[in-house]
Every structure is written in structure tokens, then in C-alpha cells.
Structure 1
Amino acid sequence: MAKVAIIGGSGHVGTYLVPKLVEAGHAVVNVTRGQSKPYQDNAAWSAVETVTIDREAAEADGSFGAQIADLGADIVIDMICFTPASARHLVEALRDKVQHFIHCGTIWVYGHNTAVPATEDQPLNGFGDYGRQKAEIETYLLNEARRNGFPATVFRPGHIVGPGWVPLNPAGHFDPAVYSTIARGEALTLPNFGLETIHHVHADDLARLVMAIIANHSTAVGEAFNAVSPQAINLRGYAEAMYRWFGHEPNLSYAPYDTWKASQSAENAQATWEHIARSPSHSMVKAQRLLGYAPRWSSLEAVKEAVTALIADGRVSRG
């Protein structure tokens, strides 16, 4: 078994991934900025070593890569790399010192796709700082793997879902009030015709994919893998399914985005634009073919589990 360092292991994916690593017999080090706790309790966390490093500060003084290298991990999983400079700093520190480097990317390396569901071999065309920088990171890492032997693999999550946080909702943003509106059977207006797509993924499926990447090291190095549910859903179908789940017939209307956004907060309107402008829909065929992996959770199944938790926490109300 291996020693695994996971940078940002207390977040959405780490909540599920860290216990799987421990249960598989790996020695796990969780590198965290603070004392954040995973979203769910698991006895496996008692076997995890926690190392506190402020990544931003450590990168500023040039020590971050050395601190990660000094952990002596065989496998490093980086969940929170957002700039090309950050990626280069870590790669140079870990070169010839790790067996496998796994980077958490994003489906936003694509701005939009001509053909859907999108496969990993389609050209990257991310827009916005986040999408462009993550695309540059991915390109850099895979180039390092294929030309210079650095053992990197990238996985690209969709909209991550799980109990403990608010999933991307049928209006294309993260306000839990949308679920309360639906739960009460009240009217909900969607932008345009509600036909833009979003593509969720359960955090547990992401953890399972990372375990498959580790188990198939020689096949996975130098590759990027989409990490989404079996199918994307459009806003209208998503909303209709949630109304019926709550025991109501859909109560929907539609308005052009520029009209619709006037009734929204600036934050919600921007979040919706960011999602519908991309309308992601991605294929999981490559992971099935190369890793023998398939997601277990549909988008709606994952969302319903998360919303059930929101109801229990009082963040979504039926009354």
C-alpha cells in the first residue's frame, strides 16, 4: 500500500475519498489550511495524519512544494490548485519524488462544445479566469506526463453534489430557496426555455473515480477523465422532476434571460449565466473503457439525497 497526501482533503470529495483510501490500507496525510472538518463523520479519519499548511502563504515564500515533498508521499492528490504558477511550483518540487500525481480539474476547461456529450479529446475552449486557468493547468500537467515523465492524471468534476451543501438548483444557481418554492408547489420562473443543461456528480462517485485512477496507475498517467453523472439534465426537466418528487405538478413559467435576471439577486443571476452559458454535457465512456469505472448516482438521485439533508437541516421548507 502507498502513502497518500491529499491537499484539501476535508472538502466535498475528501469527505468520501479519505475514508476509502484508509479502508484500502493506504497511509493518508490530509493537508489542510485550517481545522475544517469533513461533511460526514467516519471512524477512518482517526487514522489520518493532518498537516496544516497555508498554501497561499507557503507559495508566496516558495516553501509549499518543499513542504509537500517532505511528506514523502508516494501519491499526491491536489484538490485545490487554481493557477498555472501553483501547478508548476508543485510539479518542480515533486519531480522524481512521487509515483502518481492526481489533479482535480473541472469540466469548465470547456466553454461550450459543438457535439455532446463531450469527450475528453475535444479541444479545450474554457472562458473566464477559472476555466482558462484550469485548462492551462491541465495542458501543462498532461504535457509534463507525456513528454517529461511526470506521473500526472487529471479528473474533471461536474457540479459536485452531496449531503451537507446546496446543490446546483433548477434555476442554475445555489440558493436553497428555489427548492422551498418547489416543495410548496409555488410558481417558479426559469430563464429562456429551461433547456440549457447542467451536469452534476455525486462526491462519492468522484472518490470512486480517484480510487480507480490509483488502481490503474499505468493506464491513467498522462490522461484526463471526465467526472460526471451518467447523463446531464436540462433546467426544465430538473425542475419538473423536483416538483413531482415533492408531490406537485410542475408550476413553471419562462422568461428571456435578460428579463429573468431582473428578478434575481446579482449573485444568483451571475451564477446562472455562468452555468447556462456553458451548458455542460459530458461523456463517461473513457473512464469505463480505460479504468472499468462507471458512476453509480444519477444527477437526480444525487440531488434528492442532498435536498433531503437540507430539509432535515431546516434549510429547505415545505411550509
Structure 2
Amino acid sequence: MRVVVVGATGHIGSYLVPRLVRAGHDVTAVSRGTREPYHPDPAWSRVERVVADRDAEGAAFGARVAALAPDAVVDLVSFDLTSTRVLVEALRPTGAFLAHCGTIWVHGPAAASPLREDDPREPFGEYGTRKAQIEEFLLAERELRCTVLHPGHISGPGWPVITPLGNLDPGVWRALSSGGELLVPGLGLETLHHVHADDVAQGFELALARPDAAAGQSFHVVSDRALTVRGFARAAAAWWGREANLRSVSWEQFRAAAGEHADASWEHLSRSHSASTDKARTLLGYSPGYTSLEAARSAVEAMGLLPAPGA
């Protein structure tokens, strides 16, 4: 197929584009042109590169993508309904297949575990709410075949990984690596569901290979199992040969200590997501290659905080 990837040089696209080339697709990579892919790969020499600024071009952006005559479009960087609608309206006459990148945050707080794609939704916050609106619009679309893939907390080299406390505070890794005390809000039994960016790319590759099975459906693309805060912290401390020194505190105490990172922790831990991959496995053949812990470790290694295996 002729595949157009929008947001092609980002974290997911850096893995997806080479996958699609190796699968035999004719790939056009659309990006703002502000950076190269996260990882070098010989496959990029066989990719057509198009520079386009989606936000600046507005309604004209959809027409530009449609003019590339795609059989399929992978949209990795739409974060509001208006932007998605522009693309859909432009693609309707082409008969292309549209695969959109969503998020497991469309679910809001988990009411059951593991989450299934058809569970009742109670999204909150701007990001999760907007992505839920986009999903509802795409799955109701009748003229254009669409699918939505919902990643968990995307991890892997080149991306700042969500820590066991549900934030991006590098002090968390310092405490775990040194045996320092780590304050944990509540009991630390909330769950975080990571996924390696290459496994997200795998999901999109499979959806393009099986458009009839994927069309009109949404899928979770996450690792096999989520991790609890305490389980993640203990396993991560072991990377440095340490035992996690954890102390439970109230959320009020945690906020006072965590400062600017407290809101991110609340955003992640209050949702406490653990998502099922059964649907993606059954309909698409999805099989994640990384556990949550492996995905997180690869990111920490790339951050220079942990020696790579054998180093």
C-alpha cells in the first residue's frame, strides 16, 4: 500500500516507518521537519519526506495529505476533534483507511481491571477527554474506514519514561538507584501500564495489514501486564542492586514534597489503568515484544542513568 504517516519522525513513527518499509509498503513521512527520527535506520532512505505544519496550515492540511493519494493514513499527532475532522473530510473521497493514535486515558478512572475497549467511559482532563471525542467521531464515521489504537504510557529509548510514581521526576530514579527514601502516596497499589514505542508501531502495522478486521474498532496496545507503584519501584531498584526504600504518606504530604511533579502523579495514579490486549491479539495478531519493565528500563538506559546490559 501507499501509506502516509503523519507525525512520522516522533517516537512511534521512528519505529513504525521502518517497519512499514520492510513490510513492502510505499511510505510517505509527513512531519514539521524540525527533527530527524529518534533512531537511524537504513529504511529511511526509501521514504518520501514531506514537510508540513498541521497547526499552521489548518484546513489546507487535509487536502495536502489527500493529494498524496494514500491507500492508508496513520495519524499519530492529532489531539483535537477539529484537526481530525479536517483530515477525515479530505480523505473521504479517496477511499483510504485511517488509523488514529489515541490513548488509554479515554477511559478515565478504572472501574474494573483489566480494562476492555467497550467498558463505560468517564474521561477527565483535557487530553483524555479530547481523545475520547476523537474516538467517538471516528468510530461513528460511515464513509471512511477508521480505526483507533490506544497506547499506554509510551516508553523506550529517546523518550522520558513515566516513573513508578507516575511522573517524570528524575529524582525518583536517583532515589531508587542510591537506596534513598522514596515517598509513595497512599498504599502504592495503583497501576501503571507502559508500552514500548515499537510495540505501538507493531499495532499500527498489524492494523494496516488487516484493515477489514480493524475498521470501526478501537484497540489497546500495551504491554502484557501493568505494574503497581510498589512493584515497579522494587523491580526498578533491583536494576542497581538495591532494595526500594519506600514510605507511604498521604497525598497531602506527597504534594508538599513532590512539588511540580505532584499533579502528573495524580493524573496517572488516579486513573490506575491496567488494559486488556485480548481484542488486539484476537483481531490483529498483536503480541507485545516488551514487558512494562523492559520498556521502562530501555528508556532509563538511554537516559544514561543505568548501564546497558553487558556494559
Shift of 1:228: 0.7
Q: How does 1:297-308 map to 2 (within 5 A)?
A: 297-308=290-301
Shift of 1:31: 0.8
Shift of 1:254: 1.4
Shift of 1:193: 1.4
Alignment partner of 2:230 out of 232, 236, 244: 236
Equivalent residue number for residue 24 of structure 1: 23
On the 8 A contact 1:166/1:176 being kept in 2, the answer is no
On the 8 A contact 1:165/1:306 being kept in 2, the answer is yes
How well do the aligned residues superpose, as a CA RMSD in angstroms? 1.4
- 1-structure distance, mates of 2:118, 2:252: 34
- 2-structure distance, mates of 1:113, 1:312: 32
- 2-structure distance, mates of 1:130, 1:204: 22
The answer to whether structure 1 residue 246 and structure 2 residue 273 are counterparts is no
Amino acid at match of 1:58: E
Amino acid at match of 2:258: Q
- 2-structure distance, mates of 1:189, 1:313: 22
Shift of 1:99: 2.8
On the 8 A contact 1:194/1:234 being kept in 2, the answer is yes
On the 8 A contact 1:190/1:253 being kept in 2, the answer is yes
- 2-structure distance, mates of 1:160, 1:255: 28
Equivalent residue number for residue 15 of structure 1: 14
Equivalent residue number for residue 276 of structure 1: 269
Amino acid at match of 1:253: R
Amino acid at match of 1:140: F
- 2-structure distance, mates of 1:303, 1:24: 27
Q: Per the alignment, in what secondary structure is the counterpart of residue 264 of structure 1?
A: helix
Alignment partner of 1:162 out of 146, 156, 159: 156
Shift of 1:312: 6.3
Equivalent residue number for residue 95 of structure 1: 92
On the 8 A contact 1:230/1:284 being kept in 2, the answer is yes
Shift of 1:77: 0.5
The answer to whether structure 1 residue 115 and structure 2 residue 112 are counterparts is yes
Deviations 1:176-214 (A, max 9, x none): 231122111211111111111110000111111111111
The answer to whether structure 1 residue 214 and structure 2 residue 214 are counterparts is no
On the 8 A contact 1:192/1:257 being kept in 2, the answer is yes
Q: Per the alignment, in what secondary structure is the counterpart of residue 162 of structure 2?
A: coil
Structure 1: which 5+ residue stretches go unaligned? 315-319
Q: Per the alignment, in what secondary structure is the counterpart of residue 276 of structure 2?
A: coil
Equivalent residue number for residue 292 of structure 1: 285
Q: Per the alignment, in what secondary structure is the counterpart of residue 304 of structure 2?
A: helix
Residues 312 and 264 of structure 1, relative CA distance in 2, 3 Å threshold:
closer
Equivalent residue number for residue 181 of structure 2: 187
Shift of 1:127: 0.6
On the 8 A contact 1:103/1:153 being kept in 2, the answer is yes
Indicate the larger mover: 156-165 or 170-179.
170-179
Residues 313 and 302 of structure 1, relative CA distance in 2, 3 Å threshold:
closer
Q: How does 1:40-79 map to 2 (within 5 A)?
A: 40-59=39-58, 62-79=59-76
Equivalent residue number for residue 317 of structure 1: none
- 1-structure distance, mates of 2:243, 2:76: 40
Runs (4+) of structure 1 moved beyond 6 Å? none
- 2-structure distance, mates of 1:85, 1:99: 19
Q: Per the alignment, in what secondary structure is the counterpart of residue 203 of structure 2?
A: helix
- 2-structure distance, mates of 1:313, 1:3: 40
Shift of 1:313: 8.9
Structure 2: which 5+ residue stretches go unaligned? none
Q: Per the alignment, in what secondary structure is the counterpart of residue 280 of structure 1?
A: coil
On the 8 A contact 2:300/2:306 being kept in 1, the answer is no
Q: Per the alignment, in what secondary structure is the counterpart of residue 27 of structure 2?
A: strand
What is the TM-score when the length of structure 2 is the normalising length? Answer: 0.96
On the 8 A contact 1:166/1:175 being kept in 2, the answer is no
Alignment partner of 2:132 out of 120, 130, 135: 135
- 2-structure distance, mates of 1:113, 1:71: 40
